[in-house]
Amino acid sequence: MRLLITLLLVPFFLFAQQKYQLTGSVVEKGNTAVPGASVFLEGTTIGTQTDANGHYFLKNIPPGRHRLVASMVGYLPKLVSLEFPAKILNLNFNLEEDNKTLDEVRVVGSQDKTWEKQFRAFEKGFLGESHNRKEVYITNREVVDFSENEDVFTAKATQPVQIVNKTLGYKITYFMDNFQKTNSLTAYKGLASFEKLVPEDAKQERRWQRNRVEAYEGSMKHFLKALVDNRLEEEGFNAFLLKPEYLNNLRRGLFFDRNNERHVAFKASDLIGVTSAEGLTTLEWRIPMEIVFNKKRTSRPIFMDAPYPYTILIPKGQIQVTNSGDLMNPYSIEMRGEMSKIGMAELLPLDFELINEK
């Protein structure tokens, strides 16, 4: 069973409807303005660009904790953590040149069959296993290059990876730190900025809204929000703690373990620990968990009595979750099964709100 651990984006959460704003400048060495630089809240659709004088004005910032990023091709991204309401209303960035130059961008020829094979493997791991290649694609393929040996396949990008997602209606700019794939693990991390695409008509807008809801339902974000809200069954999740000795010794048969041979029943409230002043809930969760999402069906079920998407979640450290279901440290949960197959093609921005899409 394929295992995927994806470092997603450090999340933020909403406490109220009030919005905030921030202004500042982006400069480089010698205090020279950097026009056209991107300034955005990591993982969201909230962002802007600097004007000809290097100034920016960022508005509609929700309260909560955010990571603010300033970036420009040819410079190293600069990241600052802020919490709103903030004591400061003005923040300046000083960017440093990236040692990578345009000369390092590899121009790929049509005859480079090895690179094309490597790129297809990268797409499958990075974008996800089930995406529509005609609707979700990388527009600047040439910035990605690869290395591999018997144990690990690695990708790097000399510039931000540009992804067009016509299934969900987003353009994503992804500053990829690294990508690695082994026989049992696919892992990547980076910074992402989302931009909503402009729909051609009302029909396309409705399709995007449906697809966003579809991507959300049964996702890790959906599951964790349901867990924190004590609404697992109402939201369509059947979940049981799994005795560790059964983790790598699963037998096909029945998911619903009538005799409690491998399952430990629990209540969501049993796993809910303290909630911090910032709104982060710590989960007291120590052993693996088996999950099916019964509002979707699958043609090739693992268990005959549960023909639904199936996932095993394994705690790997302290688990902290926001009230909207975002995981503060994605490496704190290991995923196997259906949730592990999700890549960038099904990733929603952190400011996605289900209520606005229905």
In degrees, to the nearest 5, what angle opens at C-alpha 195 toward C-alphas 83 and 86?
Answer: 15
Residue 352: per-residue pLDDT: 87
C-alpha distances (whole Å) from 188 to each of 56, 157, 179, 211, 348 are 30, 12, 4, 24, 16
Token digits of residue 25: 């400048």
pLDDT at 118 over 50: yes
Q: How far apart are CA 111 and CA 100, in angstroms?
A: 26
How far, in Å, CA of 170 to CA of 172, rounded? 6
pLDDT at 153: 94
**Chain center to CA of 62:** 19
Q: What is the pLDDT of residue 280?
A: 84
* Share in percent of the chain as helix, strand, coil (round to 5): 20, 35, 45
Where helices occur in the chain by DSSP H, the ranges are 113-127, 202-216, 220-228, 268-271, 354-357
pTM above 0.95, yes or no: no
pLDDT of 272 strictly over 50:
yes
Q: What is the pLDDT of residue 328?
A: 77
Alpha helices in 145-264 (DSSP H): 202-216, 220-228
Nearest-angstrom CA–CA distance, 165 and 184 = 27
What's the token pair of residue 291? 């999950």
Q: Which conformational region is residue 21 in: left (phi greater than 0), alpha (psi within -120 to 50 degrees), or beta?
A: beta
Q: Are 281 and 272 in contact (CB under 8 A)?
A: yes
Give me the CATH topology for the region 20-99: Immunoglobulin-like (2.60.40)
End-to-end Cα spacing for the chain: 34
Give the tokens for residue 94. 């000083």
% the chain with pLDDT above 90: 56
Radius of gyration of the chain from its Cα atoms, rounded to whole angstroms: 22
What tens digit of pLDDT does each residue of 37-52 get? Answer: 999 999 999 999 999 9
Nearest to 82 by CA among 93, 74, 71, 72: 93
Mean pLDDT of the chain: 86
Domain chopping of the chain, boundaries: 20-99, 103-212, 217-346
pLDDT tens, position by position, 6-24: 434 444 444 345 789 999 9
Looking at residue 4, its pLDDT comes to: 43
Report residue 48 as tokens.
Answer: 């802007």
- Among the residue ranges 56-65, 95-104, 132-141, 313-322, the one predicted with the least confidence is 95-104
Segments in 165-309 forming alpha helices (H): 202-216, 220-228, 268-271
pLDDT per residue as tens digits for the range 55-81: 999 999 988 778 899 999 889 999 998
pLDDT band at 121 (very low <50, low <70, confident <90, very high): very high
Q: How far is CA 191 from CA 174, 246, 271, 320, 337, in A?
A: 6, 36, 30, 20, 25
pLDDT at residue 100 in the model: 62
Q: DSSP state, 331?
A: G
Q: pLDDT of 235-269, one tens digit each?
A: 999 999 999 888 887 666 689 877 768 888 899 99
Q: Which pLDDT score, from 0 to 100, does residue 14 have? A: 40
pLDDT score at 44: 92
- Give me the DSSP letters along 112-166: -HHHHHHHHHHHHHHHBSS--TTTEEES-GGGEEEEE-SS-EEEEESSPEEEEET
